[in-house]
Amino acid sequence: MGNDTIGLNENELLWARLFLSTKLVERAREVELSRVHISLIQAMVLHALKISSEPLTPSKLARMLCREPHSMSALIDRMEKQGLVEKKHDLSSKNLVRVVVTAKGEEAFQRQRSVNGVINITSGLTKEERETLGSCADKMRLWAGELLRKMQPDPYGEPLF
């Protein structure tokens, strides 16, 4: 049965291509990271902590990585038990927790950077193609965030994503 038979429009076809490409790249990165004993989400948390110009709270990490706050808290707890991160109480507000990378977390971060075949997948694109892809990805992320906020407003007043 062809695309014309079921009446898919070009947006539906492009969405399917994008979804399948994303899932395939995600799976390839998971396999790649498993070789250095770190999960994709752990690598993303460490990456977010390393590139941030400010200390991050679990809720800020959840928003940055498009995760529910309770899921991020559970992940941070597991990562803390593994010695990858540590929760530090903020000196100005004792009920505020900041997440910091430990020495073991730094080692894990460097290990995940050493396997970069999937990360370098865009190296086959020209600079112009990479810029266009980045611009399109940014626009789609913003639009998806707006759609999600309309469909599922955050009960705590801050946008989830």
Segment 108-132, tens digit of pLDDT: 999 999 998 888 999 999 999 999 9
Q: Are 60 and 131 contained in the same domain?
A: no
Structural domain boundaries, residue 87: 3-123
Q: Are 35 and 79 contained in the same domain?
A: yes
Instruction: Give the number of domains in the chain.
Output: 2
Whether 151 shows a pLDDT value over 90: the answer reads no
Confidence of residue 1 (pLDDT cuts 50, 70, 90): very low
Q: Are 113 and 129 contained in the same domain?
A: no
Whether residue 147 lies inside any domain: the answer is yes
Q: What value, to the nearest 5°, has the Cα angle with vertex 86 and ends 83 and 89? A: 160
More confidently predicted of 88 and 3: 88
pTM listed for this prediction: 0.83
Whether residue 41 lies inside any domain: the answer is yes
Q: Are 99 and 137 contained in the same domain?
A: no
Whether residue 159 lies inside any domain: the answer is no
More confidently predicted of 69 and 77: 77
Question: What whole-number percentage of the chain has pLDDT above 90?
Answer: 68
Q: Are 112 and 131 contained in the same domain?
A: no
Residue 44 neighbours by CB under 8 Å, 6+ apart: 65
Segment 43-55, tens digit of pLDDT: 999 999 999 998 8
Average pLDDT over residues 74-79: 97
Q: Are 143 and 64 contained in the same domain?
A: no
Per DSSP bridges, beta strands 97-101 and 85-89 are antiparallel
Q: Are 106 and 140 contained in the same domain?
A: no
Whether residue 118 lies inside any domain: the answer is yes
Q: Which two tokens stand for residue 95?
A: 């009920």
Residue 35 sits in a domain of what CATH number? 1.10.10.10
What φ, ψ does residue 38 adopt, rounded to 5°?
A: -145, 145
Q: Are 147 and 117 contained in the same domain?
A: no
What φ, ψ does residue 101 adopt, rounded to 5°?
A: -80, 135
More confidently predicted of 76 and 90: 76
Q: Are 18 and 46 contained in the same domain?
A: yes
Q: Are 85 and 133 contained in the same domain?
A: no
Whether residue 21 lies inside any domain: the answer is yes
Segment 4-38, tens digit of pLDDT: 557 779 999 999 999 999 999 999 999 999 999 99
Looking at mean pLDDT, say which of 75-79, 116-120, 138-142 comes out highest.
75-79
Counting Cα atoms < 13 Å in the Cβ hemisphere of 129 gives: 6
